């Protein structure tokens, strides 16, 4: 589409620049928020840049200082000359309507961005990409425009509305403690500490290989969907769909998967499996086992699922280190930067979809017996972006025969350690792992102290690296 047909309003652009020259309050309110792309005419962009320079040097913005700045930068002619600068203020009767002028600019800027995005989509489609790639590309372009427009202003507290809303929330909770309860996981003590998984949060479950992080996550999905009747999207980058369903079926039926695979099922087992089969068939668990999926593709699929089902309550991703950002990494490839980009996108995705996102993560191979936040593989951004970080620790996995003989390690004992909780307390939750059904269950007491977790900083061991390894969940 030709540029001359692009949406624009030169009068509104000139009027807004005139308001900036006339009124210091307008400058402090919107100058730093204005973007070059808000202006269609190149001369107006040049004037905006000069205004920023004058403002940054703590000088008054007026025709004289602007002309001086444009002369020094050699851009006076590009801006239209001295006459154009003078006319901006002279032709603007009042600065009272600056917000209306700004709204016009933003509307036209968004429409121009959408038109350019549409042209890119057309060009991309003409190259014949795969259907999934074409849709993902189009949705990402539109999502990026939406995200740029999603900004909020600094607001004071004088009107009291936000504070009143918080007090009303506290009053509602006082009358009914379950009013603002999040999504229940099925684990009593975990729900007590977290008040359920909250909407818009990124919740990390991390563990070494073989500790059962996939099992724990799927136990939560099982409770959310089969017990509470909610909708969940599961993205498994490693485990095939059939294996996930196999685990779900045996876990919900509480039937030994080993017996099922070795042909040793008995009469009651079959009854339990048929009951679990019917429950799963009627559930709203949606599984994607694509081995290569980007955060943008996950967001796209979740948007469509939410639209189809009318709601989406939980997203589970297994696991972060198998993901790619889908972005072209400029310069030297840096896996830590890519992981940081992925986790940031997942957090933004959780907020946009307004659901808790459970993402699984590896821990470093070399570590202390008690997992630490510093053991998260490849990026501190995982810790930074997460609202909750939980570690699974099962002493029996690494125990020696001597420890079993002494009775210092309890078979099946597991700790779920909450190492980070942005909105609450930390804690250690005792669970029991039933290996034959790949299921974690609540336990009242395992004869072990229930002390708070203590975290120590950990130095990277000599020779330790971040090379991905196969994860047995």
Residue spans of the domains in the chain: they are: 3-149, 181-327+334-442
Q: Provide the residue count of the chain.
A: 473
Cα separation, 333 vs 355, whole angstroms: 32
Q: Which of 8-22, 247-261, 316-330, 402-416 has the highest mean pLDDT?
A: 8-22
Match 């821990």 to its residue by tokens: 363
pLDDT value of position 378: 58
Domain at 3-149, CATH class: mainly alpha
List pLDDT tens digits, range 84-122.
998 888 888 888 888 899 999 999 999 998 999 999 999
Contact 440, 187 (CB under 8 A): yes
Instruction: Identify which of 240, 332, 345, 331 has the alpha carbon closest to the alpha carbon of residue 294.
Output: 345
CA-wise closest residue to 394 among 371, 376, 377, 373:
371
Q: What are phi and psi of 420, to 5 degrees?
A: -145, 135
List, for residues 174-194, the tens digit of each pLDDT value: 787 776 778 899 898 898 888
> CB atoms < 10 A from the CB of 36, how many?
13
pLDDT band at residue 452 under the 50/70/90 scheme: very low
Specify which residues 317 forms β-bridges with: 235, 359
**Class at the top of the CATH hierarchy for domain 181-327+334-442:** alpha beta
pLDDT of 428 strictly over 70: yes
User: Where is pLDDT greater, at 162 or 438?
Assistant: 438
Residues whose CB is less than 8 angstroms from the CB of residue 4 and which lie 6 or more positions away in sequence, other chains included? none
């Amino acid at each position: 589409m030709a540029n001359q047909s692009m949406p624009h309003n030169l009068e509104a652009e000139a009027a807004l620049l005139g308001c900036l020259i006339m009124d210091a309050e307008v400058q402090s309110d919107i100058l730093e928020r204005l973007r070059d792309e808000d202006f269609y005419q190149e001369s107006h962009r040049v004037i905006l840049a000069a205004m920023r320079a004058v403002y940054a040097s703590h000088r008054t913005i007026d025709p004289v200082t602007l002309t001086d700045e444009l002369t020094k930068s050699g851009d006076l002619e590009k801006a239209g000359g001295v006459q154009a600068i003078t006319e901006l203020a002279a032709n603007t009767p009042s600065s009272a309507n600056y917000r209306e002028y700004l709204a016009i600019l933003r509307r036209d800027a968004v429409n121009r961005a959408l038109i350019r995005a549409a042209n890119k989509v057309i060009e991309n489609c003409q190259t014949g990409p795969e259907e999934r790639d074409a849709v993902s590309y189009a949705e990402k372009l539109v999502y990026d425009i939406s995200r740029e427009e999603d900004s909020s202003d600094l607001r004071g507290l004088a009107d009291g509305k936000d504070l009143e809303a918080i007090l009303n929330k506290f009053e509602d909770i006082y009358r009914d403690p379950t009013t603002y309860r999040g999504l229940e996981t099925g684990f009593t003590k975990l729900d007590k500490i977290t008040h359920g998984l909250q909407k818009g949060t990124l919740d990390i479950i991390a563990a070494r290989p073989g500790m059962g992080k996939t099992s724990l996550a799927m136990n939560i999905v099982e409770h959310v969907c089969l017990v509470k009747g909610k909708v969940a999207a599961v993205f498994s980058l490693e485990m095939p769909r059939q294996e996930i369903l196999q685990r779900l079926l045996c876990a919900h039926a509480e039937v030994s998967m080993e017996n099922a695979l070795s042909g040793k099922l008995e009469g009651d087992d079959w009854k339990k499996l048929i009951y679990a089969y019917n429950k799963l068939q009627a559930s709203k668990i949606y599984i994607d086992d694509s081995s290569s999926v980007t955060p943008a593709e996950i967001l796209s699929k979740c948007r469509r699922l939410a639209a189809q089902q009318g709601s989406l309550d939980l997203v589970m991703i297994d696991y972060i280190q198998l993901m790619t950002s889908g972005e072209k990494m400029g310069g030297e490839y840096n896996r830590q930067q890519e992981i940081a980009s992925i986790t940031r996108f997942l957090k933004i995705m959780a907020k946009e979809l307004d659901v808790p996102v459970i993402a699984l993560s590896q821990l470093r191979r070399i570590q202390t017996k008690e997992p630490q936040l510093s053991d998260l593989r490849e990026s501190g951004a995982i810790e930074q972006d997460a609202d909750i970080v939980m570690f699974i620790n099962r002493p029996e996995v690494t125990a020696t025969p001597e420890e079993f003989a002494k009775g210092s390690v309890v078979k099946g004992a597991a700790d779920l350690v909450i190492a980070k909780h942005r909105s609450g307390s930390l804690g250690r939750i005792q669970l029991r792992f039933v290996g034959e059904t790949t299921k974690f269950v609540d336990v009242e007491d395992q004869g072990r102290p229930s002390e708070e977790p203590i975290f120590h900083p950990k130095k990277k061991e000599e020779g330790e690296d971040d090379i991905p390894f196969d994860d047995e969940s």
